[in-house]
Amino acid sequence: MNDTLFNIFISVISSAGLTGIIIFFFKEKIKASIKSDYDHRLEGFKNELSKNQNFISKILDSQNHGYHLSQTDRIAAIKVFWENYLMIREYLTAISSIDGFMTVKETNEFFIDDRSLPLISTMQTDLNKSIQLLKQYQNNIEAIRPFINDRIWFQIVFLVTFLGRISYLYNLNFKNRNMQHWRLDAPIIDLLKKHLSEKEYDYITKNELAGIYKVISFVEQKQLAEIYRIINGRAAAEYSMDHAISLGQLQNDFDKETKNTAHQYIKKPATKF
């Protein structure tokens, strides 16, 4: 009886030991399988992360290269713009010879004085030339419009409209020998009010000797301020900053997607054996 119990006891212990060994073996195998599965997923996740980082890096490199090329084009466009502008301004000298030195009343009297005919004739010739240049100016500027910013383009549109209206009025005055001063022209006054600052507008409208050239000088100040921003790279830097903000948003979206993807990798059940 004792031998039988002993044999049973030995058998149970042997079975338990074998079972323990088997359980331990499978536990280790499952652990190894889980680790291998997660390692494989983690490696795939790292590769995906690396590809996206390389993609963003290439975007930044391309943007940097494009910045240098665009800046060269911008400066070349500014030269074309300013050379054309100076040609137009040269033909406004005759107008400024009376416009900035006479009141509205004095200008009207000047136009009906026969002694003024030679100068009036010169002014008419110059104005006609300026009209031709204005049309040519618009065409030339259209060709370089992609390389100058909207602020400069806005100044150009104003300048062409203002000088075009002045030219129309003066040519009409030459023919009729009856001066309608540009200060009395409602469309011009409305244009000035919309375009100039309140301080600039008050200066022009309240000072009779603030002539056409003073209006142009206000426009020039705005143009030169924008030209300076372009030449020193500030305008391009602001443009690049806008792109950097967009890229930052892209990076944030990517980071969110990365976290969601990583969360899915962690939560996804491993393959069971």
Q: DSSP readout, 5-58?
A: HHHHHHHHHHHHHHHHHHHHHHHHHHHHHHHHHHHHHHHHHHHHHHHHHHHHHH
In this prediction the pTM is: 0.57
Residue-level pLDDT, tens digit, the chain, 273 residues: 555 554 554 554 555 555 555 555 555 566 566 666 656 666 665 566 665 555 455 444 444 444 455 778 888 888 888 887 887 777 677 677 677 778 888 877 877 777 877 877 787 787 777 777 777 877 777 888 888 878 888 888 888 888 888 888 877 877 777 777 888 899 999 999 999 999 999 999 988 888 888 898 898 889 888 888 888 865 444 544 444 445 555 555 555 555 555 555 445 554 444
The pLDDT of residue 265: 46
pLDDT for the residue numbered 189: 94
81-85 contact pairs (CB < 8 A, 24+):
81/141, 81/144, 81/148, 81/152, 81/156, 82/227, 84/133, 84/136, 84/137, 84/140, 84/141, 85/137, 85/159, 85/223
Residue type, 128: N
- The Cα 256–Cα 260 span in angstroms is 6
pLDDT score recorded for residue 26 = 55
